[in-house]
Amino acid sequence: SKTHKIAVIAGDGIGQEVMPEGLRAVEAAARKFGIDIEFSHFDWAHCGYYAQHGKMMPDDWFDQLKGFEAIFFGAVGWPATVPDHVSLWGSLLKFRRDFDLYVNLRPVRLMPGVPCPLANRKPGDIDFYVVRENTEGEYSAIGGRMFEGTERETVIQESVFSRKGTDRILKFAFDLAQSRPKKHLTSATKSNGIAITMPYWDERVEAMGAKYPDVRRDKYHIDILTAHFVLNPDRFDVVVASNLFGDILSDLGPACAGTIGIAPSANINPTRELPSLFEPVHGSAPDIFGKNIANPVATIWSGAMMLDFLGNGEGKYRQAHDAMLAAIEEVLVNGPTTPDLGGKSNTTEVGKAIAAAI
């Protein structure tokens, strides 16, 4: 049977603490379901590397990574020494762009055992996906400053939406919606205010929607959409959004479902010609780093999404994914849990418990 080659990059801060638990869980599931994985560790794409080399990654990073099927990623960013935009654009955002990981898929689910900040919501009430465009839109590197340092200083940045970039993320989202029982797609827009790019987004949603007559679709401006995440999270099934709006919704959604600490994500290149990347939604969290109290669930869940991806959602791969999710649920309900969920256990204890439950 095939050996899956996975690159592992723990990165900065709590990325270092949660990654060993992600690996422990993936290894347990792989062993149990007879999936053959080979991990290769890379000690760059973190701010310590930057301090030594003046860059986040070696020049041949692309060649070093391109042959892998997937990258299992922790977190990056250490603003005390490297500005975030330097560390992120020098690593994670480069991966997303250069490996053309145009889908950022982020499940939002209220899990059993997780206290919900919303009144009267129970597991099952919140269960949807944010499908985020991941390569273009508001995250551009085009623009600059004029009249620098003077009263007339002006800073301009361009958002770029291409038909190719817009249509392919919409297609992914409509396909996903069509595969789910509710067949419901919500588009995040802001065409009333962001009056050039967002009306275009709306047009492409209409055009793509016409090909999916069985998918019910609606759209909300991003401002009121964030309100509905709080007031009516049960209204959503698949939410498709631009790069920036998807970024916002995929932190807000998990917060409504209790915590960012368990939210996973998959950065996917559906062609599979280049590695896809799996990472927790949370960042490197310098404030809690070093205490070994970070919640490893987001990384473990991301690992489950990675296994599912490796097998195209089929057979033993899907079983491995489901077993990992079941183990996560079991441990969330019965403990041990980390302090962010009110528990007293550390990262390693929770990771071991989940691996054991698998």
Ligand X SMILES: CC(C)[C@H](C(=O)O)[C@@H](O)C(=O)O
Binding site for a second copy (CB under 8 A): 77, 83-85, 88-89, 93, 116-120, 138-139, 141-145, 150-164, 190-200, 222-224, 226-228, 230-231, 243-244, 247-248, 250-252, 254-256, 259-260, 283
- Does 296 sit near ligand X (CB under 6 A)? no
In contact, 271 and 31? CB cutoff 8 Å: no
User: For 140, phi and psi rounded to 5 degrees?
Assistant: -110, 165
Query: Does 283 contact ligand X by CB under 6 A?
Result: yes
Q: Which residues, 304 to 343, sit near ligand X by CB under 6 A? A: none
| Contact of residue 199 among ligand X, a second copy, none (CB under 5-8 Å per partner type) | a second copy
Beta-carbon contacts of residue 169 (< 8 Å; ≥ 6 apart): 102, 103, 131, 132, 133, 134, 240
Question: At closest approach, how far in Å is the CB of 88 from ligand X?
Answer: 4
Q: Which residues contact 220 (CB under 8 A, 6 or more apart)?
A: 186, 187, 188, 189, 228
The single residue among 83, 117, 144, 193 that binds ligand X, judged by CB under 6 A, is 193
CB of 91 to ligand X, least distance (A): 10
Residue 149 phi, psi (nearest 5): 75, 5
131 part of the interface to ligand X, by CB under 6 A: no
Where on the phi/psi map is residue 356: left (φ > 0), alpha (ψ -120 to 50), or beta? alpha
Binding of ligand X by 237 (CB under 6 A) = no
d(CA 28, CA 34): 10
Longest CA span, the chain? 66
**Lookup: tokens for 108:** 């939002």
Q: Which does 290 bind (CB under 5 to 8 A by kind): a second copy, ligand X, none?
A: none
Beta carbon of residue 223, minimum distance to ligand X (angstroms, whole number): 5
Nearer to a second copy, 66 or 147 (CB): 147
Binding site for ligand X (CB under 6 A): 88, 93, 192-193, 223, 247, 281, 283
